[in-house]
Structure 1
């Protein structure tokens, strides 16, 4: 009798062991299954989401196969269950365990938004509206209202935000991005203002931003910025009008159709530097750090004029006669390119 009981118990133990091995193997196959994705996918775990719900969501998205064995993962692999809320990037080639490790470590995906140097606040607003996974807090607010929320004393934000690429995680707001851009601009401006040249015709850091924005719109050639700056500084020192087309375009607003006509140069606006003396009232674009540096540390020169060369750069002149010859050469170059 005892032998039969012993045999029975051994048989039960053997069956249990075999069952455990089978279940363990099934769980291992489940958690090592490759994700069924062919391209990068964004996956969000909301706060308070359970481990079982995460597996269910992955199944519903058809990233993993449905299986009753999923409910045993928590018991056999508790180390995989402490997942953090966030938005993650799932890449082709990951298996379920690797994906769970990403969730466990809280490695949230960094989204990015790029603001181009020389862009306007109107263009920034459009970019923010179209950005992925941003909370929208400034929709319906005026520019002046947004400026107030940013703690900026000016009602126009042109020139007061640093154009560059900003990275952010899920749940970041458009206002958060603007705050960072405003802080970075202020840091750059403060630093550059402290190292500015003596005797510049710029009374305030804000005037430096105005000039920097004009430089930004006039040239994209890195090595020309300080020379372009010198032209405007020389003209300001001589009380000559700046006569720069980008200010005319900015003043025209939505009326600008891609062409500037002679009547546009003569039409008064607060920004038309063919009509007004000195700087326009505000920046006309978002300058980059290089243009701010150029405005405050221009090249030492006697240049008063410049015109496009037709080859990507500009020709600089010290006298009006030289400038007129350069203009004729530019027009000739244009005709030869047609």
Structure 2
């Protein structure tokens, strides 16, 4: 009897020891960091639609991400990840253990792509900015931007559709579809155009699209936030007086040559709906994606009597303003002399 009790105690002790060792092993393979990735950037694992565990494993193996392959596969099987592969983009960090990553992959808890729009003039610039950062082909985006039916769906034309893409930073999931991407951008567009902003636009004789077109001209003229309302005031004065806006950035846009630094009388002869030296009123679409503060500068433009402005001769980025053409010519002469001294003729 004593021998049996002793045997039982040994068995229990052995089992407890085994259980402890097994638990410790499981804890190690679950919690111990197991990925050799950049400590700052990590590694973005892209899992396309229809992918299997083998697809995921091939990607991890090719990029040599997993240190202990056996432990990863063991826990993946234990947690039934093979039956729960979900598409998306998942950032793997250096401090992650197997359990944390596999639970993340199983749940479909993606890491979004941070997308920032700035310094964009043309549709091709926008397409290039987005590039191949998402699962969809960027050529699909280019096609949609030129599709009148798509533009009409969101309340734009193919000339004004760029207004929908407000310069900002957005978090967008990698596996978003082109249509979903457009819906997201339109959602942010509607969020920006609050009832207050719409009322301000209507009060100055504009709608949101026209306000953004005007803002794109202001953006093309100055990067100085404190000067934008004054520049906007000049163009609103011209617009209300039914005189040509004569905005040099629109001429540059018409020529599609953004290396032009000096707009002369030869350049202003171009036949284009974007040449505001020839066409009265606003051009048919924006000439860039203006900053949000440029849009607000138009909605809250400075009331004054200035009808002209010219870049300052100190090349500070600011401008000299004038109420009459005579004073403007004098300001222009001073600036042109400064350009000539630097041998800038184009």
- Normalising by structure 1, what TM-score? 0.81
Aligned CA distance change for structure 1 residues 22 and 53 (closer, same or farther; 3 Å): farther
Q: Which residue of 2 aligns with 1:42?
A: 44
Mean Cα displacement is larger for which, 244-253 or 182-191?
A: 182-191
Shift of the 3–57 alpha-carbon distance from structure 1 to 2, 3 Å rule, reads: farther
Contact kept? 2:123, 2:145, Cα under 8 Å: no
Correspondence 1:44-123 to 2 at 5 A: 44=46, 61-67=64-70, 71=74, 85=86, 86-100=88-102, 102-103=104-105, 107-116=109-118, 119-123=121-125
- The equivalent of 2:217 in structure 1 is 214
Is 1:108–1:169's contact at 8 Å kept on the other side of the alignment? yes
Q: 1:145 to 1:63 in 2, by over 3 A?
A: farther
Gaps of 5+ in 1: none
Count of aligned pairs between the two proteins: 332
Q: 1:240: which partner in 2?
A: 243
Q: Report what 2:126 is aligned to.
A: 124
Residues in 2 aligned to 1:257 and 1:73: alpha-carbon distance in whole angstroms:
56
Deviation at 1:278, TM superposition (A): 2.2
- Separation (CA, whole Å) in 2 of partners of 1:277 and 1:42: 51
State the distance in 2 between where 1:57 and 1:167 align: 24
Contact 1:114/1:166 (8 A) holds in 2: yes
The alpha carbon displacement at 1:95 in A equals 2.8
Asked if the contact 1:26–1:69 (Cα under 8 Å) also holds between the matched residues in 2, the reply is no
- For 2:291 and 2:231, locate their aligned partners in 1 and report how far apart those are by CA, in whole Å: 15
Q: Mean alpha-carbon deviation: is it higher for 51-60 or for 273-282?
A: 51-60
What is the aligned partner in structure 1 of residue 322 from structure 2? 317
152 and 18 in structure 1: CA distance in 2 versus 1, 3 angstrom threshold: same
The residue matched to 2:227 in structure 1 has which SS? helix
2:284 corresponds to: 281
Deviations 1:168-199, CA, capped at 9 Å, x for gaps: 1131134333333234334434532312474x
Q: TM-score, normalised by structure 2?
A: 0.79
Q: Contact 1:27–1:73 at 8 Å: present in 2 too? A: no
SS in 2 for 1:291: helix
Query: What SS class does the counterpart of residue 226 from structure 2 fall into?
Result: helix
Rounded to whole Å, the distance in 2 between the matches of 1:18 and 1:283 is 73
RMSD: 3.7
Instruction: Please give the alpha-carbon distance, in whole angstroms, between the structure 1 residues aligned to 2:109 and 2:142.
Output: 30
